[in-house]
Amino acid sequence: MIGAGTTAVVTGGSSGIGAATASLLARRGCDVLVTGRDPAALDTVARHAGARACAADLTEPGAAARVLAAAGEVELLVCNAGVGWAGRLEDMPEADAETLVRVNLLAPVQLVRAVLPGMLERGRGHLVFVSSIAGSMNVAGEAVYSATKAGLDALAASVRGEVTGRGVGVSVVVPGVVDTPFFARRGTPYARRRPRPVPPERVAEALVAAVERNRAEVFVPPWLRLPARLRGVAPALTDALQRRFT
Ligand SMILES: NC(=O)c1ccc[n+]([C@@H]2O[C@H](COP(=O)([O-])OP(=O)(O)OC[C@H]3O[C@@H](n4cnc5c(N)ncnc54)[C@H](OP(=O)(O)O)[C@@H]3O)[C@@H](O)[C@H]2O)c1
């Protein structure tokens, strides 16, 4: 799947995890199209990686279709674009909540709906969703962000059930804390001691490995799987531990 002849679209390719992923995929021979809103940043990533660029705001109607029209026949779709917002839900402006839902959840739905029929027809393709540990752990102070990422996890699991045995793979990448402009952009710096931020290149490597091995889910760093699983079986205990250690 990863190599010459594969066309890959990476949303959120102008920065952080998306830029690192685009560079790695291009180095591995893929024809990569990066998308984001910032044309200058996209251009820099595209030139550096040897990728194509298409500027689009994924909150706008029709943006997903425009990106895919520019890409051509997509074999690998990396739904990575995402925005955060930190604070109590009662203080969150409705417009910000809407932006998070549009970028983090609705855009992946639109992109997948558009690429999946072609992938299934060709019997070849892979969908990647960059989620977050916040989607597994339900972080207080990040209610809408956590909800969009939990929704993305559910979307991926459901689609995987629909495409199994039809030539299309689905992977979810679950990063903990990554050293990118994400926190500065949401306006609230990362203030916890743990988990420690990992470089975006490490997430990109895990993402590419997940596609190559057709893995349903990878955590970065891998130990994050433990609290995520614990929350599934003992939510009250995990919530108490979370309050105690954050
Ligand atoms: N950093 C972390 O600690 C962390 C942890 C877990 C999960 N994640 C997830 O990882 C993904 C990548 O985040 P990152 O850390 O690499 O952050 P980042 O450096 O801020 O990158 C976010 C990307 O999303 C794009 N984007 C934001 N709003 C957009 C919009 N309206 N339309 C189109 N593109 C938009 C940005 O492009 P433009 O600015 O050019 O629009 C940018 O390329 C996100 O889904 C995030 O939730 C990050």
| Atom number, ligand 1, closest to the C-alpha of residue 133 | 6
Q: What is the pLDDT of residue 94?
A: 98
Could you give the percent of the chain with pLDDT greater than 70? 99
CA distance 230 to 139: 15
User: 166: Cβ below 6 Å to ligand 1?
Assistant: no
Beta strands in the chain (DSSP E): 7-11, 31-36, 52-55, 76-79, 125-130, 168-175, 217-220
User: 73: Cβ below 6 Å to ligand 1?
Assistant: no
Reported as a single tens digit per residue, the pLDDT across 124-150 is 999 999 999 999 998 999 999 999 999
pLDDT at residue 245 tops 90: no
**CA separation (Å) from 219 to 6, 119, 134, 149, 185?**
25, 26, 12, 14, 23
| Atom number, ligand 1, closest to the C-alpha of residue 185 | 20
Q: Where are the domains of the chain?
A: 7-245
Per the prediction, the chain carries an average pLDDT of: 96
Q: What is the pLDDT of residue 49?
A: 95
**Hey, whose CA ends up nearest to atom 2 of ligand 1?**
178
Reported as a single tens digit per residue, the pLDDT across 28-73 is 999 999 999 999 999 999 999 999 999 999 999 999 999 999 999 9
User: 81: Cβ below 6 Å to ligand 1?
Assistant: yes
DSSP string, 41-58: HHHHHHHHHT-EEEE--T
Q: What is the pLDDT of residue 246?
A: 67
pLDDT at residue 191 tops 90: no
**Hey, whose CA ends up nearest to atom 34 of ligand 1?**
36
Token pair 């895990």: residue? 206
Query: Domain 7-245: what homologous superfamily?
Result: NAD(P)-binding Rossmann-like Domain (3.40.50.720)
Q: What is the pLDDT of residue 243?
A: 77
